[in-house]
Structure 1
């Protein structure tokens, strides 16, 4: 590819590592029903601290994590855009540890002001 204008080689999106975030789910108290069978869902949203509206943040699940009872999360494998509204990310049952999550940011541009940007990712465990 020939670069004919300034900024043409600039990547507009960036994917983070496939295990950028590691999430574990455990419903208490620790008893057989909660460890194996208890259903739950994870909701996700973001709270912008210092953000530019041109930037969009996405999240997805890249693995099943670990469970002593072969429990696996359901859904969440496709990128989902984060915003201030809490939405269902994925669900499951029982205890599942070390679920890997990946982030992607889009809207990167040389026209964005040079500064640090920050947002909080909020995970909410819904006990079904």
Structure 2
């Protein structure tokens, strides 16, 4: 009678376990979510009553015009919240949109942080630009009601009078 002996190859086991952990970590890193809420912003531009006058040129929305909810996975996870706009359907290139984060929102995570985005940045057409970052240290970073304010500049009598619309798009990604 033959007896088979199996040896436990610890080197193979350690490599396999490391590979499984790496795959799991990469999967967790991709689990970022972002939800956008708030209301549409309609800029009220006052009428010009005197010949030779121009508009003030800059208009601000409410400080909480847009409310974001974002989550970043644990284990030293991070997320970059970016923004751009799309003409919807008509926009004038002389009109410039800006955005800024006006607060941190709410979170139960004591070891998480949210940084950047508290001064206005120019929101580009179709190309993402970073607005702020979220960092999770040892727990899931979950923020709600992160307030974002918009600003419109470049309003002038030289721009043809019509209705201009755009859609502001937010994304979250790994750093």
TM-score by length of 1: 0.82
Q: Is the contact between residue 36 and residue 95 of structure 1 (CA under 8 Å) also seen in structure 2?
A: no
1:6–1:124 Cα change, 3 Å: same
Which residue of 20, 27, 44 corresponds with 2:83? 44
Q: Which residue of 2 aligns with 1:116?
A: 163
Partner of 1:102: 149
How far 1:64 sits from its partner (Å)? 0.7
Question: CA 1:23–1:8 in structure 2 vs 1: closer, same or farther (change >3 Å)?
Answer: same
Higher relative contact order (CA 8 A, sep 6+): 1
Where does the alignment leave 5 or more consecutive residues of structure 2 unmatched?
1-49, 136-140
Q: How many positions carry a matched residue from both structures?
A: 118
Please, which runs of 5 or more residues in structure 1 have no aligned partner? 28-33
TM-score by length of 2: 0.61
Query: How far did 1:127 drift?
Result: 3.4
Alpha-carbon RMSD across the aligned residues, in angstroms, is 1.9
Residues 5-64 of structure 1 show CA distances to partners (whole Å, capped at 9, x for unaligned) of 62536211101110010011024xxxxxx3685311111111122101110000000001
Judging by fraction of residues, say which structure has more strand.
Answer: 1
Q: Using the TM superposition, give the Cα deviation of residue 67 of structure 1 relative to its aligned residue in structure 2, in angstroms.
A: 0.2
The secondary structure found in structure 1 opposite 2:100 is strand
